[in-house]
Amino acid sequence: MKEKKPAKSKKQDLAADLKKLGARIKSLRIKNGYTNHEIFAYENGIDRVQYGRYERGAADMQYSSLLKIIRAFDMTPEEFFSDGFE
Protein backbone atom coordinates (compact mmCIF):
# COMPACT_ATOMS: atom_id res chain seq x y z
CA MET A 1 0.00 0.00 0.00
CA LYS A 2 1.30 3.44 -0.96
CA GLU A 3 2.00 5.88 1.79
CA LYS A 4 -0.04 9.06 1.51
CA LYS A 5 1.84 12.29 1.08
CA PRO A 6 0.94 14.91 3.64
CA ALA A 7 -1.53 17.37 2.21
CA LYS A 8 -0.25 20.89 1.71
CA SER A 9 -1.78 23.29 4.13
CA LYS A 10 -3.98 26.12 2.93
CA LYS A 11 -1.28 28.53 4.10
CA GLN A 12 1.26 26.80 1.84
CA ASP A 13 -1.21 26.91 -1.05
CA LEU A 14 -1.74 30.65 -0.52
CA ALA A 15 2.01 31.29 -0.40
CA ALA A 16 2.53 29.32 -3.62
CA ASP A 17 -0.29 31.22 -5.33
CA LEU A 18 1.13 34.57 -4.24
CA LYS A 19 4.51 33.53 -5.71
CA LYS A 20 2.79 32.65 -9.01
CA LEU A 21 0.97 35.98 -9.00
CA GLY A 22 4.21 37.83 -8.31
CA ALA A 23 6.05 35.97 -11.05
CA ARG A 24 3.27 36.80 -13.50
CA ILE A 25 3.26 40.53 -12.79
CA LYS A 26 7.06 40.65 -12.85
CA SER A 27 7.26 38.88 -16.21
CA LEU A 28 4.62 41.22 -17.67
CA ARG A 29 6.43 44.27 -16.32
CA ILE A 30 9.68 43.17 -17.94
CA LYS A 31 7.87 42.22 -21.17
CA ASN A 32 6.46 45.75 -21.25
CA GLY A 33 9.97 47.23 -21.12
CA TYR A 34 10.20 48.14 -17.45
CA THR A 35 13.49 46.89 -16.06
CA ASN A 36 12.83 48.52 -12.70
CA HIS A 37 9.73 47.75 -10.64
CA GLU A 38 9.87 51.14 -8.92
CA ILE A 39 9.53 53.05 -12.19
CA PHE A 40 6.59 50.87 -13.27
CA ALA A 41 4.86 51.38 -9.93
CA TYR A 42 5.51 55.13 -9.89
CA GLU A 43 4.25 55.65 -13.45
CA ASN A 44 1.08 53.70 -12.68
CA GLY A 45 0.24 55.27 -9.31
CA ILE A 46 1.07 52.19 -7.26
CA ASP A 47 3.03 52.33 -4.02
CA ARG A 48 6.57 51.31 -5.04
CA VAL A 49 7.45 49.41 -1.88
CA GLN A 50 4.16 47.53 -1.82
CA TYR A 51 4.44 46.68 -5.52
CA GLY A 52 7.88 45.18 -4.85
CA ARG A 53 6.31 42.97 -2.19
CA TYR A 54 3.65 41.86 -4.67
CA GLU A 55 6.28 40.85 -7.21
CA ARG A 56 8.16 38.82 -4.60
CA GLY A 57 4.96 37.12 -3.50
CA ALA A 58 5.58 38.51 -0.03
CA ALA A 59 2.26 40.35 0.30
CA ASP A 60 -1.36 39.62 -0.39
CA MET A 61 -3.25 42.27 -2.29
CA GLN A 62 -6.75 43.55 -2.58
CA TYR A 63 -8.66 42.76 -5.73
CA SER A 64 -8.80 46.47 -6.59
CA SER A 65 -5.00 46.66 -6.43
CA LEU A 66 -4.69 43.63 -8.69
CA LEU A 67 -7.11 45.20 -11.18
CA LYS A 68 -5.07 48.40 -11.18
CA ILE A 69 -1.95 46.38 -12.03
CA ILE A 70 -3.75 44.35 -14.71
CA ARG A 71 -5.09 47.54 -16.31
CA ALA A 72 -1.60 49.06 -16.26
CA PHE A 73 -0.63 46.16 -18.55
CA ASP A 74 -3.67 47.01 -20.74
CA MET A 75 -5.13 43.55 -20.11
CA THR A 76 -8.38 42.02 -18.95
CA PRO A 77 -8.41 39.73 -15.90
CA GLU A 78 -9.10 36.81 -18.27
CA GLU A 79 -5.99 37.62 -20.29
CA PHE A 80 -3.93 38.07 -17.15
CA PHE A 81 -4.91 34.70 -15.67
CA SER A 82 -4.68 32.83 -18.96
CA ASP A 83 -0.98 32.11 -18.44
CA GLY A 84 0.73 30.57 -15.43
CA PHE A 85 -2.39 29.68 -13.43
CA GLU A 86 -3.25 26.11 -14.37
Answer whether residue 2 shows pLDDT above 70.
no
List the domain range (segments joined by +) for residue 75.
12-80
Q: Considering only CA atoms, which of 27, 68, 26 is closest in space to residue 45?
A: 68
Tell me whether residue 2 is in a domain: no
Q: Is the pLDDT reported for residue 5 higher than 60?
A: no
Evaluate whether residue 6 is within a structural domain: no
Cβ-Cβ contacts under 8 Å for 54 (sequence gap 6 or more): 21, 22, 25, 61, 65, 69
Confidence of residue 6 (pLDDT cuts 50, 70, 90): low
- In tens, the pLDDT along 9-41 reads 888 889 999 999 999 999 999 999 999 999 999
Round to whole Å and give the CA distance between 20 and 10. 15
Residue 86 lies in a domain: no
> Number of helices (H) and strands (E), helices first, in the chain?
5, 0
Mean pLDDT of the chain: 91
Task: Give residue 83's pLDDT.
Answer: 86
For 33-75, how does the pLDDT look when each residue is reduced to its tens digit (9 = 90+)?
999 999 999 999 999 999 999 999 999 999 999 999 999 999 9
